[in-house]
Amino acid sequence: MEFFRAVFEKPYNWLIFVLMIGAIYGFVSTLSDVKRLTAKMEEEAKKKNRGRKELTAAGGMVTAPSVIDWEDVLGYIEIFNKIKAKYSMWEQFIPIFPLLGLLGTVMGLIEAMHSGFETSDMSLALTSTFAGLVAAIALKVIDALLTGKAIQEKQFYFDTFEMNYHMVVDKKTVAGTDEK
């Protein structure tokens, strides 16, 4: 308990903590945006599939695979690009935390110099570096395991969809049907 009291005794450590909470909120908010976009895409595909049936080789009826138009995907890509821009902004906060910790340490060392370099002043100065590193590590873990992963998966989906769409269009163009 003494350690945490020492960490939060300095005002710049509080700044690190408050900014870390804000960045966590930003990452969670971005993850939530990706999940909402995915749900919207799935709901739209379900609406378009209602009533569509196709025959199987054995003569049975099954629901056709999801249908999403290229125009719909372009709209989703536009929304996704806005989400990625928001994500990129929050991602830029991660390297700031060790720098804030270092700044706090330098400020603490300056204070320690003026008070005669007592051991307690030195350890208090280093708590800022500790706080900055803990914040950066925690945010990087959240980024890598949650938000960054969701962004990469959705980007892969859009890239694959676009590649497949262009392959189909190219095949129709080569075959002379040119139906888009």
Coil vs helix vs strand at 58: coil
Q: Report d(CA 113, CA 64) in Å as an integer.
A: 74
Instruction: Report residue 122's pLDDT band, with 50, 70 and 90 as the boundaries.
Output: confident
Instruction: Read off the pLDDT of residues 56-93 as tens digits, 9 standing for 90 and up.
Output: 555 555 444 455 677 788 889 999 999 999 999 999 98
Instruction: Read off the pLDDT of residues 124-133 as tens digits, 9 standing for 90 and up.
Output: 778 888 888 9
> Interhelix angle for 119-142 vs 11-49, to 10°?
10
CA neighbor of 131 nearest in space, from 2, 9, 1: 9
pLDDT at 37 over 90: yes
The encoded tokens of residue 43 equal 């709901």
How confident is the model at residue 2, as a pLDDT?
Answer: 66
| 108 within 8 A of 121, measured Cβ to Cβ | yes
The full set of domain ranges for the chain reads 2-169
How confident is the model at residue 63, as a pLDDT?
Answer: 46
